[in-house]
């Protein structure tokens, strides 16, 4: 009787161990969000609002913002009619500690660039700050103090806008940036007190001090050609998006040097515009032509995750084998006492 119970326990534990550890390998699927709009507004930028659990999306042909849920449900949040008629949103960033959304607004003719701040979740306007140079404001990032940093690709300038909406120039025509035909593009804030900024055509990445604006080129193992949009995951991995690839980068020395450890192809025909980090530190790309938000993963990281899973399986089986031997001895002793 004891032997029968022991055999049943063996089978139950083995099955439970395999299902609990192996199942996640197959159950994890990539997330794709399709959202529909009544007009061809060309979504151009997006950001994840963790408190509301949805993405906020801005457009090239719409003076308003929408939220998009995981299921693709669209809610119209704000129509800023006081902006020039042909205004577009080129970059947005969420300030979670102050529950604000910062957006870069641009109008081609007459040239106009500004930064708009909205309260969350009401989306009531907080301020609208015109930038000193009305050229080509691109992207925005926010630090923990509430300062917004905006790149201007035509003027090679980074503006800093404080939480009250007052603008100043942080960096202008730095020699370290080696000004070329292309200008500054994507910007992301690192919690250690500096910005990471891309220059698209050169494939370069720069580290800019958020206090004094001093800039240094990050030494890369390869150029991130065409990379414009940039974002940083909680684990420190930097994501840089071009029209052909999503680059995954990491650094061991606070971004004096960095390595591109993986690249994932994106669909150029769908017009990938921006990369953002969503729930659970997942990486998402916005496709402006097809109104899609698509999760992308690093194959290198996936293989590493699977390796750890198999290591855990091995440790679990080793522990089970040890437990089985101990239980076998116990049952043998019990049988001897019974006899």
Q: What is the mean pLDDT of residues 193-208?
A: 91
Distance CA 259, CA 334 (A): 61
First to last CA, the chain: 13
Q: Tell me the three-class secondary structure of 156-175, residue by residue.
A: CEEEEECCCCCEEEEEECCH
Question: Structural domain boundaries of the chain?
Answer: 2-25+304-338, 33-296
Q: Please indicate whether residue 36 or residue 21 has the higher confidence score (pLDDT).
A: 36
Return the pLDDT at 4: 52
Please give the pLDDT value at position 27: 39
Q: pLDDT tens-digit profile of 223-239?
A: 999 999 999 999 999 99
| pLDDT at residue 260, as a whole number | 96
pTM: 0.80
pLDDT at 305 over 70: no
Instruction: Say which range, 35-39, 314-318, 329-333, has the weakest mean pLDDT.
Output: 314-318
Class of the CATH-defined domain 33-296: mainly beta
18 has pLDDT over 80 = no
pLDDT at 76: 86
What pLDDT sits at residue 25? 39
Q: What pLDDT is recorded for position 307?
A: 44
Q: pLDDT digits over 67-108, tens only? A: 999 899 998 887 667 777 778 899 999 999 999 999 999 887
Higher pLDDT, 62 or 336: 62
pLDDT value at residue 333: 64
pLDDT at 275 over 70: yes
How large is the average pLDDT for residues 169-189?
A: 76
Looking at every residue in the chain, the average pLDDT score rounds to 83
Which of these, 181, 238, 182, 180, lies nearest to 207 by C-alpha position? 238
Q: Model confidence over 124-150: pLDDT tens digits?
A: 889 999 988 666 889 999 999 999 999
> Residue 283 pLDDT more than 90?
yes
Any idea which of 54-63, 102-111, 188-197, 312-321 has the lowest mean pLDDT? 312-321
Q: Could you tell me what percent of the chain has a pLDDT over 70? A: 75
CA distance 325 to 327: 5
Give the residue with greater pLDDT, 64 vs 150: 150
Do 148 and 138 form a contact (C-beta atoms < 8 A)? Answer: no
- pLDDT of 180 reads 53
């Amino acid at each position: 009787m004891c032997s029968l119970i022991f055999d049943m326990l063996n089978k139950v534990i083995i099955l439970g161990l395999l299902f609990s550890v192996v199942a996640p390998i197959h159950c994890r699927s990539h997330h794709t969000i399709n959202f529909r709009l009544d007009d061809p507004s060309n979504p151009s930028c997006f950001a994840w609002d963790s408190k509301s659990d949805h993405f906020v999306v801005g457009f090239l042909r719409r003076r308003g913002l929408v939220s998009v849920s995981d299921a693709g449900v669209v809610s119209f949040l704000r129509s800023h009619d006081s902006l020039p008629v042909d205004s577009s949103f080129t970059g947005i960033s969420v300030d979670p500690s102050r529950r604000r959304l910062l957006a870069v607004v641009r109008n081609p003719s007459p040239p106009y660039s500004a930064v708009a701040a909205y309260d969350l979740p009401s989306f009531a306007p907080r301020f609208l700050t015109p930038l000193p140079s009305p050229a080509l404001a691109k992207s925005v990032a926010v630090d923990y103090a509430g300062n917004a940093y905006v790149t201007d690709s035509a003027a090679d300038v980074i503006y800093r806008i404080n939480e009250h909406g007052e603008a100043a120039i942080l960096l202008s025509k730095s020699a370290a940036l080696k000004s070329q035909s292309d200008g500054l593009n994507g910007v992301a804030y690192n919690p250690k007190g500096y910005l990471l900024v891309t220059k698209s055509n050169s494939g370069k990445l720069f580290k800019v001090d958020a206090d004094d604006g001093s800039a240094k080129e990050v030494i890369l193992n390869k150029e991130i050609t065409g990379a414009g949009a940039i974002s940083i995951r909680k684990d420190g991995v930097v994501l840089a998006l071009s029209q052909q690839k999503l680059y995954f980068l990491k650094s061991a020395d606070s971004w004096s040097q960095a390595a591109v450890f993986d690249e994932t192809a994106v669909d150029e025909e769908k017009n990938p515009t921006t990369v953002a980090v969503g729930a659970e530190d997942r990486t998402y790309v916005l496709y402006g032509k097809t109104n899609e938000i698509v999760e992308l993963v690093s194959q290198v990281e996936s293989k590493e995750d699977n390796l750890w899973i198999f290591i855990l399986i091995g440790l679990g089986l080793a522990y089970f084998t040890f437990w089985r031997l101990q239980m076998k001895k116990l049952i043998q002793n019990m049988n001897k006492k019974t006899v």
